[in-house]
């Protein structure tokens, strides 16, 4: 039987900031984007802030109304990435099977490590202690015989007990997991919870007792996964190759203000195509399906669209993607103000697999030009080569160059 941990960092961004500023240790603190640029959303709240009812994802002004002495710190993404990598290195001291699940969650298979470091609970305590001593971030650890049990152990039990460690055993599910509300099970969102409640399923245990064939008839393979999760079954191994074989490359951004004119919108669409194609080239792939996502300015009335089209042949050339995106935008835009734009490439293939064309005789030159531009940007910075349109007030290229994942470095 395997032993798998899910190691989760408590209020990760907020914990890093409190380690940076020890004088804020006893203050309610949140990490939030810049409200002046419409990114004032709570990214992380420390436990003291959460006691005031503040939740991740809510708007900053709402959080400030709940807690008048709230300390607001802007995100520093490069620091969070650096510490996340540092935590990965710590985990790799205990096992060679470490799989990042997100920036603040990582799976580790310690099955073969017990002879070196002791039984699972002892290993968990050692990991917890070392992470705290080296980063001043508190780790919560869920333990199970597979990844799904470790994840649910952490989410439902480790985060709520004093030790921050919990072992969820399959033979004890009827006493531990099954009495919980069905929405506490991994993979059950609000919409699925509503469907299950309409079936009379209120708890994880009731879901576990629904006949498998009924769930499969209702939701196909997803029904099978629901049943397996409720029974603590998961055959996916902890692997270092989980992020290999990328299926899509995309980039989106929330605009600093509502964009109304087509001229301004085209500037940002071109910049997004530049970003997506550059990332595709760095991954050595081309895409054949181009997708555009548009969100309207209103928060109350959801407007916008999500459309895609498949090209005759795959590409990672900026203008090929841009002309396709522009055509889709003009076809479906209702001329209402725009708040957010996104562009992505899917149906990826290696960039050394080329379908010869009788019509596009300049194809090789276009592809080579992209790689030459990438080389210049790698050497001198991402803004060393930009299009003239990015120098207008609509352009966001310089602002984005200061960020990682949409937040300042």
Q: Are 397 and 390 in contact (CB under 8 A)?
A: yes
Residue among 66, 60, 79 at smallest CA distance from 18: 79
The verdict on whether 183 is a catalytic residue reads: no
Sign of the torsion formed by the C-alpha atoms of 80, 86, 88 and 90: negative
Strands (DSSP E) contained in 260-379 are 285-296, 304-315, 338-350
- Other Cβ atoms within 10 Å of 47 Cβ, number: 13
52 φ, ψ to 5°? Answer: -85, 5
For residue 271, give every residue at least 6 positions away whose Cβ sits within 8 Å of its Cβ, in sequence order, or none: 387, 390, 395, 396, 397, 400
Residue 135 tokens, joined: 């980063």
Distance from C-alpha of 222 to C-alpha of 209, rounded to nearest angstrom:
16
Instruction: Provide the CA 318 distance to its chain's centre, in angstroms.
Output: 25
Q: Are 226 and 207 in contact (CB under 8 A)?
A: yes
- Which residue out of 58, 92, 93, 105 is catalytically annotated? 105
Residue among 30, 125, 11 at smallest CA distance from 69: 30
Annotated ligand binding at 364? The verdict is no
Distance from C-alpha of 158 to C-alpha of 177, rounded to nearest angstrom:
13
Please give, one letter per residue, the 3-state secondary structure of 217-253: HHHCHHHHHHHHHHCCCCCCCCCCCCCCCCCEEEEEE
Which helix H or strand E contains 126, and what residues bound it? helix 120-135
Annotated ligand binding at 104? The verdict is yes
Instruction: Provide the CA 329 distance to its chain's centre, in angstroms.
Output: 26
Residues belonging to the binding site for Mg(2+) are 8, 104
Residues belonging to the binding site are 8, 104
Instruction: Report, as residue numbers or ranges, the catalytic residues.
Output: 105
């Amino acid at each position: 039987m395997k032993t798998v941990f899910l190691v989760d960092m408590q209020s990760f961004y907020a914990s890093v900031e409190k380690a940076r500023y020890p004088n804020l240790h006893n203050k309610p603190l949140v990490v939030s984007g810049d409200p002046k640029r419409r990114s004032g959303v709570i990214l992380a709240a420390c436990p003291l802030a959460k006691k005031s009812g503040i939740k991740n994802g809510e708007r900053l002004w709402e959080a400030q109304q709940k807690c008048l002495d709230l300390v607001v710190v802007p995100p520093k993404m490069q620091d969070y990435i650096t510490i996340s990598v540092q935590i990965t290195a710590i985990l790799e001291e205990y096992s060679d099977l470490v799989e990042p699940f997100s920036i603040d969650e990582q799976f580790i298979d310690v099955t073969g490590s017990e002879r070196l470091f002791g039984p699972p609970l002892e290993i968990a305590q050692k990991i917890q202690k070392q992470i705290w001593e080296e980063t001043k971030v508190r780790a919560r650890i869920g333990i199970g015989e597979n990844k799904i049990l470790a994840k649910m152990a952490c989410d439902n039990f480790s985060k709520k007990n004093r030790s921050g460690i919990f072992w969820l055993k399959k033979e004890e599910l009827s006493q531990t997991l099954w009495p919980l509300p069905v929405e506490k099970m991994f993979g059950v969102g609000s919409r699925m919870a509503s469907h299950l409640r309409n079936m009379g399923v209120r708890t994880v245990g009731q879901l576990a007792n629904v006949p498998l064939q009924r769930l499969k008839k209702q939701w196909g393979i997803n029904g099978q996964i629901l049943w397996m999760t409720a029974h603590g079954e998961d055959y996916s191994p902890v692997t270092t190759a989980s992020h290999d074989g990328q299926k899509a490359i995309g980039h989106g951004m929330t605009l600093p203000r509502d964009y109304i004119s087509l001229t301004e919108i085209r500037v940002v669409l071109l910049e997004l195509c530049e970003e997506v194609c550059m990332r595709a080239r760095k991954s050595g792939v081309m895409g054949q399906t181009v997708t555009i996502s548009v969100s309207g300015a209103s928060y109350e009335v959801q407007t916008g669209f999500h459309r895609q089209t498949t090209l005759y042949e795959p590409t990672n050339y900026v203008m090929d993607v841009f002309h396709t995106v522009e055509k889709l935008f003009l076809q479906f835009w209702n001329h209402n103000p725009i708040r957010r734009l996104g562009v992505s490439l899917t149906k990826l293939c290696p960039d050394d697999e080329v379908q010869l064309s009788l019509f596009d005789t300049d194809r090789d030159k276009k592809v080579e030009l992209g790689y030459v531009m990438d080389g210049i940007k790698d050497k001198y910075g991402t803004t060393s080569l930009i299009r003239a349109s990015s120098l207008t007030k609509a352009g966001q290229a310089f602002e984005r160059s200061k960020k990682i994942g949409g937040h300042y470095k």
